[in-house]
Structure 1
């Protein structure tokens, strides 16, 4: 049977050993589950890039994908649909929606990279890049030949938008994340330099590799901050417990002295 090395931090390794966890069995089960999830996700990514595929005809597909999306990403997509104003929802509209949402990690990363958010938004709004739509059969199935009308979640979206969302899922998998956020969508938009948003971001000097590194650094910083905050809170609680114990002891001695 092939052997795979699994490296653990010292503290976790000690805890696993102390708990007598069957490492091999646990790892096999976790890896089998991960393979199944990733395989299904990659099939979904490939389907989104197929112009004949109708995502709205597969409600279980939309449900699984939506469950992975953060609230900020879902809001950004809806704001992008509003920005399209009845036209097909292109990647430029999606970039505008992400910027208009305002509080997401992608926007903070763009600002940290010294990008002018207002200029990016204006460039996305005025982009003249024409993006292809799904086939007539797929569009008819979702109930919209253009954008903004009635239909499902994917109604009116251009193929590059579907590909960008698929690329966002792919980026999430590659980074080892169990969610899809606006930071992943930013990578998804950068994945196609010929799309409306891709061209805007490329002309602004943004590079997918640099953005990916920034995301990893930012999330590592957030994790460290949470760990530090938790450690500080634990230390504060312990200090308060010691103070309470001392006060209890003083009160007890005063009571014994009849005071």
Structure 2
């Protein structure tokens, strides 16, 4: 097996070449982003071949042996994408997959997730949307209109996540970690969507007047209020 051609020195040179006049602190932020991207690529590579092995009939014990870990650790790795998700956000993601399947869409996109997130009216994210001055139902209609036209093909049982949807799950978890939370709630999905302004879902939110910083502050205030009421 050939070793990787990229060294730490190569990565340093590339970053300095791309940001020759950047402030040192800006370079720290860029280095963090690139490190996360490299880690994500490695995880995606492993996840791809875990799924392929499972589809070929391999057991979790066999996969664990190949990875040098226990059967339990391999199985946890295979399902760890949602390890931090509490019940409501996990249901939002499941509903997004069901929505994509019902529409006969080829992949689950961030837009499917936003539609089902806004439809979870009793969850914190939808309440935050209302508190920030928007109508969740109207936003859901807007983002639904931006979903690709359904191809009309036969729906399959499993609809895969697109690259953008996988990135959304990562941004969602990162939003929770940035707030110091060891769980993922619907509010973190909303923040994850706002971290992806390049997607139609992110664009709908930004066009409606949402910003990551303001929404993050509203999340912190709302959760602080819950904590005070719980103590009371």
Larger radius of gyration: 1
Same fold (TM over 0.5): yes
Q: Deviations over 1:129-171 (max 9, x none)?
A: 79xxxxxxxxxxxxxxx996244xxx42111111111001101
1:115-194 alignment runs, 5 A limit: 115-128=134-147, 149-151=156-158, 155-194=159-198
Which whole-Å CA distance do the structure 2 matches of 1:197 and 1:111 have between them?
17
Kindly indicate whether structure 1 or structure 2 has the higher relative contact order, using CA contacts under 8 Å at least 6 residues apart. Answer: 1
Structure 2 counterpart of 1:93: 112
Structure 2 counterpart of 1:54: 48
Contact 1:99 1:121 in 2 (8 A): yes
State the aligned residue count: 169
Q: Deviations over 1:176-219 (max 9, x none)?
A: 11101111111111111111211111111110001100111111
1:83 aligns with 2:99: yes
Contact 1:91 1:189 in 2 (8 A): yes
TM-score (norm 1): 0.58
The 1:164/1:178 distance shift into structure 2, 3 A limit, reads: same
Give unmatched runs, 5+ long, in structure 2.
1-35, 52-73
- Quote the offset at 1:46 in angstroms: 2.0
- Quote the offset at 1:50 in angstroms: 5.0
CA RMSD of aligned residues (A): 2.9
Contact 2:191 2:215 in 1 (8 A): yes
